[in-house]
Chains A and B, each alone.
Chain A
Amino acid sequence: RKEVEQDPGPFNVPEGATVAFNCTYSNSASQSFFWYRQDCRKEPKLLMSVYSSGNEDGRFTAQLNRASQYISLLIRDSKLSDSATYLCVVNGNTGFQKLVFGTGTRLLVSP
């Protein structure tokens, strides 16, 4: 079983739609969670951290469910520029903070 699992998509949505991605992780000892964004043929960039109480950054909302070991990302009012691959990332160790990356969920926003 992969440490971090994501639906690869693609999720095809029209502009203005709300879309949500989930991600599951296998290591119950994981302590930190993040979403990174990767544009086509570009490098990954940190989008946001995920806090236990849930957190929002503009149109983006991230939530964590420790009991079920999943993380979600909700995007409201989708823009064309949101088209990208969203990587779910988990801190795999309590020592050196090795990040474990999911394979990503691809989002395509169309006019």
Chain B
Amino acid sequence: AQSVTQLGSHVSVSEGALVLLRCNYSSSVPPYLFWYVQYPNQGLQLLLKYTTGATLVKGINGFEAEFKKSETSFHLTKPSAHMSDAAEYFCAVSDLRGNEKLTFGTGTRLTIIP
């Protein structure tokens, strides 16, 4: 069975500061890993994904994440936070059997302090 743990249900950073949202996963098979963002009253938008290949993946809006197998982590970072980054962020791991069932973490609400 797969699982995802997101450390910190709420994270606050100052505008312009580094954003770091933590995600650790558990999977019995090589995982596909995802970060989704949910803005207020909106659906889930894919930020970035790791499937195979380069372990540092870049996504939209300046976000990136690094897959570290030895640490079973997939932390999301952005060098400089912007007010528009305020949202809920979900880490997810997929089932590789092809039916694309995602297991989500509990989410991290990011607040940007002006």
Do the two chains bind? no
